[in-house]
Structure 1
């Protein structure tokens, strides 16, 4: 009587669920028990270049949305605390390289590159993970006849570029996808007769 409609709804629900899983759909979220955070307390060690970028005339442009601000925001969302705890790990940015390339013509194209190499260090400053590089590329075009369009567009694209790199770094750190350094093999003392 009522069994057939119930069975049909169960089969339909299971079929739709299997179809969603088969196409790669999954809910994105973070619960405290989903992934244990390997680095619950952290400090940042960034080079001064990460606090600004240079324009086409090599003038420093201070950034409101620096890598430091973005990293703290994203990593805090994963449950990592930034404090001076004695067991705090350090996210050490070894290399921060920003480059701007301009291709001129009636319509100019500007390509922005950002390469960041980083590693995690323990409280004593010893590397825990191997260095990892993240590369980001963004480009934009503008009409050369327009005035000040390049500067306005560049600021927005730089902010997006830094944001993309910070998100990639935060995901790799929070999901424990950084390769750990292998401990050096213990040397055995050699005995000479």
Structure 2
């Protein structure tokens, strides 16, 4: 007992040394906490951390896949855009060629139409000229017959005679015109 009393006296005298019952309760409490943390909480924490790691890695993988897909879609879009530009350039060139072709066709049609109009005008002029000459011959013949009848003093009413006289007069007139030229 003396020893216990000495220990008690010594414990009372040393403020840094805990009491024995505190030491036993503390060790027991520490063991319970270590057991609880080591056996129950640590696996749950490990599991939660593993799930979070998998979720993060899965998210990173999904993000990488999404980025790769986005890159593929962007490349496809750029290819389609390039094809569209090439198609637009081809269509522009075709339109220019077609426009030039239409312009040439219209010019050709206009020239053909102009030639047709000119030829028709020449034909009309020639027809008008022939008609005018015919009318002029008839008028000259009538006037010549009247004049000749007045000069001769007899009537030149005979139509056959008139025609012969007029034709002879016109031939002489044409021959004199031809000699002058």
TM score, norm. by length of structure 1 = 0.19
- Greater C-alpha radius of gyration: 2
Higher relative contact order (CA 8 A, sep 6+): 1
Pick the structure with more strand per residue: 1
